[in-house]
């Protein structure tokens, strides 16, 4: 009964926020008060953005980007991912579906398909063709995503009159947020000759003229220039020294230090693809976003459109240089200016007060373990090849067979069911034996069987996060977890994927129509975003949503 009344109250709240209301006055007259939805919802994902980038660089930001969102909108300061693995594709999908990989099925950027017996990419689709580029880079769609996004629900609610457009340098960052019913998703590809924004035949049969015009302009090539710090590098006191041993850098340059001459380096760094790994990739995304608002006529009528924008260069720079680098600080200071340009463009093109924006991240990132080790903080690197050999040797000794493992990926072990059957082995017994073995290996902190994920119901701790990320049909037979700050990666640069705070704690900012000014330290979860936007619009929640609306962000 208590649950029933909660649902009734929440439903009334969602309807009353945006539906025409009849108010009974003291004179007993019925007065209809119309409240209008925003003309445009803009979802911004900053790839690999830690929460502390808001606070570390705060004094260096201008007033029109991140600070505008904080000063005019609502800041959820204790926002976390509630599942693992914390990767790009699951992150973008969870933000817009309001649920976790357990339900939406995007369990990684790539994963092993145990039925097809091969690795698959989250957005790959060989039933479609690319538009604007040939080959695999264009053969993409959202068909592997099992649930709807709030952008899908808005399309359904408006009888397909509300548009949805997704853009990102990364295909997965554009495609998954935009959903199954999107009018278009555009992503960037480059080679030695140039770069272009492309899409696939999943959405259309020909690139729109505005996209062709943008690709044919000199906007993309104009960014193939020197990358130096936006301000005097001596003022970058929120990051480590420019020259150190914890950064990767670019091929063809001896040291990972400013400045970087992109024209000189491009031939050894995949040509125009190199732009993705510089802050200019974010600037290019902002340019294209502003062109898309005009080209797609977003927010031009009273039917709500959805615009998903993912800034991906932050992830590339973080992977290359690490979270404490001058390069990452410069990237965020430049992104702040790009956000200001985007918000000013929205003010001009859609109208201040006519749109709503949220900003979050698809995951955060760990400090470079080698740097942590230099400070005597426990950290290190996982030897994946050595791990696989150890497990294989164990299985050979115990079962006289070294082919019981079909695949190891995403911290999961997939067993060969055919060989298990041939040897008349019980899968539960083998899973338990492997868990009991690998828990003793260096760098492994925890290990679990698939059966424990299926049969138990965890409500706290890392076990809950693993279970939220575990999809019974797609995930493996054994799941293992590294020690804190242990990563399977190069000795330079940062990565992500764990259930620890350095990967789960990300910003969540709302501002614009219907959003009040404020802040909270109350814990919020990434899956709360889609139900919150759905409530704001008065539409159905995505069909697999497990998050809850954050009613305290509304006016």
21-30, 150-159, 329-338, 477-486: which has the minimum mean pLDDT?
Answer: 21-30
- Residues involved in catalysis: 88
Q: Is the pLDDT of residue 46 over 50?
A: yes
pLDDT attached to residue 36: 87
Backbone angles phi, psi at 542, to 5 degrees: -50, 145
pLDDT tens readout for residues 165-177: 999 999 999 999 9
Quick one: what percent of the chain has pLDDT higher than 70? 94
For the chain, give the mean pLDDT: 94
- Report which of 524, 518, 514, 434 is spatially closest to residue 480, judged by C-alpha positions: 434
Q: What would the pLDDT profile of 506-519 be if each residue is shown by its tens digit?
A: 999 999 999 999 99
Q: What percent of the chain has pLDDT over 90?
A: 93
d(CA 94, CA 527): 6
- The answer to whether residue 25 scores a pLDDT higher than 50 is no
Q: Kindly indicate the confidence band of residue 35, based on its pLDDT and cuts at 50, 70 and 90.
A: low
Give me the pLDDT at residue 127, please: 98
Indicate the pLDDT class of residue 402, thresholds 50, 70 and 90: confident
Q: Model confidence over 50-75: pLDDT tens digits?
A: 999 999 999 999 999 999 999 999 99
Taking alpha carbons only, the member of 141, 214, 207 closest to residue 176 is: 141
DSSP per residue over 62-87, as a string?
Answer: -TTTHHHHHHHSEEETTEE--SS---
The arithmetic mean of pLDDT across residues 96-115, rounded, is 98
pLDDT higher than threshold 70 for residue 15: no
b/e code 63-100 from CB counts within 10 Å (16+ = b): ebbbbbbbebbbbbbebbbbbbbbbbbbbbbbbbbbbb
Query: Mean of the pLDDT values across residues 127-149?
Result: 97
pLDDT confidence of residue 453: 96
pLDDT band at residue 297 under the 50/70/90 scheme: very high
pTM across the whole model: 0.93
User: What domains appear along the chain, each with residue ranges and CATH number?
Assistant: 40-368+504-553 (3.40.720.10), 383-442+444-482 (3.30.1360.150)
Asked if residue 29 has pLDDT above 80, the reply is no
pLDDT tens for residues 215-247?
999 999 999 999 999 999 999 999 999 999 999
> Is residue 542 helix, strand or coil?
coil
What whole-number distance in Å separates Cα of residue 223 and Cα of residue 265? 13
Segment 186-194 mean pLDDT:
97
Lowest-pLDDT choice from 24-33, 258-267, 408-417: 24-33
* Buried/exposed 527-548: b ≥16 CB within 10 Å, e otherwise: bbbbbbbbbbbbbbbbbbbbbb
Query: Which is it for strands 21-24 and 30-33: parallel, antiparallel or unpaired?
Result: antiparallel
């Amino acid at each position: 009964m208590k649950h029933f009344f909660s649902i009734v109250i929440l439903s009334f709240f969602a309807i009353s926020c945006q539906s025409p209301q009849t108010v009974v006055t003291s004179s007993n007259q019925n007065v209809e008060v119309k409240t209008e939805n925003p003309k445009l919802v803009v979802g911004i994902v900053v790839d690999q953005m830690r929460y502390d980038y808001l606070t570390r660089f705060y004094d260096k930001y201008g007033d029109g980007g991140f600070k505008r969102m904080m000063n005019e909108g609502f800041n959820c300061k204790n926002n976390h991912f509630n599942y693992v693995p914390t990767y790009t594709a699951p992150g973008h999908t969870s933000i817009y579906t309001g649920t976790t990989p357990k339900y939406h099925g995007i369990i990684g950027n790539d994963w092993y398909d145990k039925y097809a017996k091969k690795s698959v990419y989250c957005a790959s689709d060989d039933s479609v063709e690319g538009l604007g580029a040939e080959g695999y880079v264009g053969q993409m769609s959202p068909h592997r995503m099992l649930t709807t996004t709030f952008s899908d629900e808005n399309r359904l609610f408006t009888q397909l009159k509300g548009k949805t457009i997704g853009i990102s340098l990364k295909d997965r960052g554009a495609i998954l947020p935009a959903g199954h019913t999107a009018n278009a998703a555009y992503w960037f590809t480059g080679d030695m000759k140039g770069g272009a924004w492309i899409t696939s035949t999943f959405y259309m049969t020909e690139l729109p003229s505005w996209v062709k015009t943008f690709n044919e302009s000199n906007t993309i090539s104009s960014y193939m220039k020197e990358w130096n710090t936006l301000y005097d590098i001596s003022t970058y006191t929120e990051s480590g020294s420019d020259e150190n041993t914890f950064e990767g850098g670019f091929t063809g340059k001896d040291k990972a230090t400013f400045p970087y001459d992109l024209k000189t380096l491009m031939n050894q760094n995949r040509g125009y693809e190199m732009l993705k790994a510089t802050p200019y990739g974010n600037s290019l995304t902002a340019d294209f976003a502003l062109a898309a608002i005009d080209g797609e006529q977003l927010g031009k009528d009273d039917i709500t459109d959805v615009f998903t924008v993912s800034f991906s260069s932050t992830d590339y720079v973080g992977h290359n240089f690490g979270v404490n680098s001058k390069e990452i600080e410069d990237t965020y200071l430049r992104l702040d200016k790009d956000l200001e340009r985007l918000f000013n463009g929205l003010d001009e093109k859609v109208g201040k007060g006519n749109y709503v924006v949220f900003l979050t991240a698809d995951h955060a990132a760990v400090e470079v373990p080698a740097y942590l080790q230099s400070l005597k903080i426990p950290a290190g690197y996982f030897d994946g090849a050595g791990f696989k050999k150890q497990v294989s040797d164990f299985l050979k000794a115990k079962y006289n067979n070294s082919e019981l493992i079909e695949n190891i990926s995403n911290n999961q072990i997939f067993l060969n069911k055919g060989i298990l059957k041939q040897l008349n082995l019980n899968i539960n017994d083998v899973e338990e034996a492997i868990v009991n073995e690998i828990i003793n290996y260096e760098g492994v902190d925890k290990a679990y069987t698939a059966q424990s994920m299926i049969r138990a119901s965890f409500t706290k701790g890392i076990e809950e996060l693993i279970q939220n990320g575990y999809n019974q049909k797609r995930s493996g037979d054994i799941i293992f977890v590294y020690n804190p700050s242990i990563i399977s990666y190069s000795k330079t640069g940062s990565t992500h994927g764990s259930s620890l705070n350095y990967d789960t704690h990300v910003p969540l900012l709302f501002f614009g129509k219907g959003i009040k000014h404020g802040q909270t330290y109350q814990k919020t979860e990434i899956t709360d975003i889609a139900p919150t936007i759905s409530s704001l619009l008065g539409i159905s929640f995505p069909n697999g949503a497990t998050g809850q609306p954050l009613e305290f962000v509304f006016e």
